[in-house]
Structure 1
Amino acid sequence: MSRIMWEIKFIRKKIKLYISNLLNRIVMFSFPKRKEKFNPENIKSILIARNDKIGDMVVTTSLIKNLALAGYDVYVSSQQSSLEILKKNPYVKGTFSYNDYSYKDLFESIKKIRKFHFDLVIDTRPFYSFEMKKIIFCAFTNSTHLMGFNKSNVKSYNISIPYYNNDSHITNQLNKIYDYINIQNYDKSYDLY
């Protein structure tokens, strides 16, 4: 009897996974496609879409500082608790609270961001992360360019940085952004206030 129950549960999980993948493909099909060719000289405003925990935001503070020192207006979106550590950061031009507890909250977050037209949105989520709500947020930010890691299969990302070294620290992944934007000399230390 337990073998039959196990097989029923297994079949249910397969069906649930199939439906989830099908829905993800339908949603991804509706994403806007960014076609404009990337030129770092045309970038003025950047939104860093961190949208996660405080520890990763601490690591991202060096990226924020280096982008600002390179002349970009840097904005950050993340969960409210993560934004608290950026309150007195002089390199942050503005912040946006990200909330995806429900799809209604997610679309409210997107609505706030869409009022701005960022030249570049950088999805800093780890390359192995494929959380649909966070990808939906980035896809509909109304930006000219959308950069992410290993997102070449998502048409909204017109800049996909290949990075497959999952054994290294997140800072090594973020350093690839400097290469793409042509920032040569950058400070790797965290920048907390």
Structure 2
Amino acid sequence: MDKKKKFARLRALNRQRNYLMKSLRLHIARLILDHRTKREFAISDRKSVLFLRDDDKIGDMVVSTSLFREFKRAGYVVDVLAGKNNAKIIEFNPYVNKYYVVEKDNKHKLEQAKALAKNNYDVVIDMGDKISPFHLLLLKKLDARNVVGFNKAGFNIYNKSLDYLGYSSHVTERYQLLMESFDFISFSTDYDIHVPDSVRSEIHDFMSAIAAPYKVVINPYAADPRRDMSLTQLKALIEKIKREWDQVEIILVGDPARISQLTHLDAVINPYHTLTSACEIVRLADMVISPDTAIVHIAAAWKKPLVSLYGNDLHGEYVNSRVWGPGYDAARQLYTIDKHHPVSSIEVDDIILTMKELSVLCCCRTQ
């Protein structure tokens, strides 16, 4: 056996061992922490709910906003356990009664869960797919009357488990299933972002001061480097947009620390460092271009004309580009050749062609 094959075999054995150890720890935790039998599912007259969105993913929080609105409209008091960053999406959301930012370390998380248990929630809705011994302990500490999750039928602490294996279906179908399980009849899965009037006024003045009547917002960066646009790709895209259309200005949004390094490009750098400001800039844009990241879902909240750049990858068994795609008619997706190619491999000419198909800027075309 050559060295490469031997190394690959050792890695495979190590992965198998780690999987078995995780399974064993979860089995032991289940014996200790899980309920012996499933409890009856029953909601009190108070109808209070805590959503667990503590993964701190901004895009996931945007997608979840439809649930907060529809549960509130159905008479529920809606609280959310959020992360430090994704809490900013619901900071001004009128449908959320309270949001709590999850503590950093496990000891304080459990203390926080014990404190939240005093709210006597009718139901905790676990938005995630994975479960761990610590997660079981967290749910135990929250001590809600009911716990709802997806694909958790093997755990009695969940007295409502929704079977959902939509590996290539948009995530809104999962949330539709959730609302139907609560007997909601008339509801919408549209996203719901709220920006305070002071920010709207400030961004309106900023956008109005840009002389070009048409604004294209580009977000070049994502959390995963493989989803980032390259500097070469971004520079070429900006130059081709300016050659193809007149009366167009480019506005770059994203991580302030990263886009502040792009002042040499022929584009306006978003000078505001808040997430709500970026949301409002997207709302006022004529078109948005972004790799697979939160800006895609923020654009979807207002059904903005969108060119989104996706890799051919999976999240577990879920087809990422379908489950977490923009999911509306005014959006287009461009894909890498395969999972081994980064988003920076997508051709600039293909992005330009897709922009033309959307035809939002046709009235200012120079050619």
Give the TM interval when normalised to the shorter protein. 0.7 to 0.9
1:1-193 equivalence runs, <5 A: 2=3, 4=6, 6-33=8-35, 35-40=38-43, 42=45, 44-52=47-55, 53-99=57-103, 102-125=105-128, 129-132=129-132, 133-193=134-194
Partner of 2:303: none
Deviation at 1:41, TM superposition (A): 6.0
Q: Secondary structure at the match of 1:182?
A: coil
TM-score for the superposition, normalised by structure 1: 0.85
C-alpha separation between the residues in 1 aligned to 2:43 and 2:114?
26
Q: CA deviation at 1:84?
A: 1.1
Aligned to 2:152, the other structure's residue is in SS state: coil
Post-superposition Cα deviations, 1:97-118, rounded to whole Å, max 9, x if no partner, equal 224x543243234233223221
- Distance change in 2, residues 1:90/1:8 (3 Å): closer
Q: Is the 8 A contact 1:40 1:181 kept in 2?
A: no
Q: CA deviation at 1:36?
A: 3.3
Q: Report deviation, 1:32.
A: 3.9
Residue 313 of structure 2 aligns with which residue?
Answer: none
Unpaired segments ≥5 residues, structure 2: 195-367
Q: Quote how far apart the aligned CAs of 1:47 are.
A: 0.6
Root-mean-square deviation (Å):
2.3
2:260 alignment counterpart: none
SS of the counterpart of 1:140? helix
Task: Give 1:180 shift.
Answer: 1.1
Separation (CA, whole Å) in 2 of partners of 1:135 and 1:82 = 23
In the alignment, the residues of structure 1 paired with residue 32 and residue 188 of structure 2 have an alpha-carbon distance, to the nearest angstrom, of 39
Q: Given that residues 82 and 101 in structure 2 are in contact (C-alpha distance below 8 angstroms), is that contact kept between their aligned partners in structure 1?
A: yes
Structure of higher RCO (CA pairs closer than 8 Å, 6+ residues apart): 1
Percentage identity across paired residues of the two chains: 26
Mean Cα deviation higher: 138-147 or 149-158: 138-147
**Aligned pair in 2 of structure 1 residues 15, 80: CA closer, same or farther (>3 Å)?**
same
Q: Is contact 1:97-1:109 (8 Å) kept?
A: no
Tell me, in whole angstroms, the C-alpha distance in 2 between the residues paired with 1:41 and 1:103. Answer: 30
The CA distance in 1 between the partners of 2:122 and 2:156, in whole Å, is: 17
* Gap runs ≥5 in structure 1: none
Distance 1:67 1:8, change over 3 A: closer
Please report how far the alpha carbon of residue 165 of structure 1 lies from its aligned counterpart in structure 2 after TM superposition: 1.1
| Cα gap change, 1:26 to 1:156, in 2 (>3 Å) | same
Q: Distance in 2 between matches of 1:190 and 1:31?
A: 36
1:80 aligns to what SS in structure 2? Answer: coil
Moved more, 112-121 or 85-94: 112-121
Residue 130 of structure 2 aligns with an amino acid whose one-letter code is F
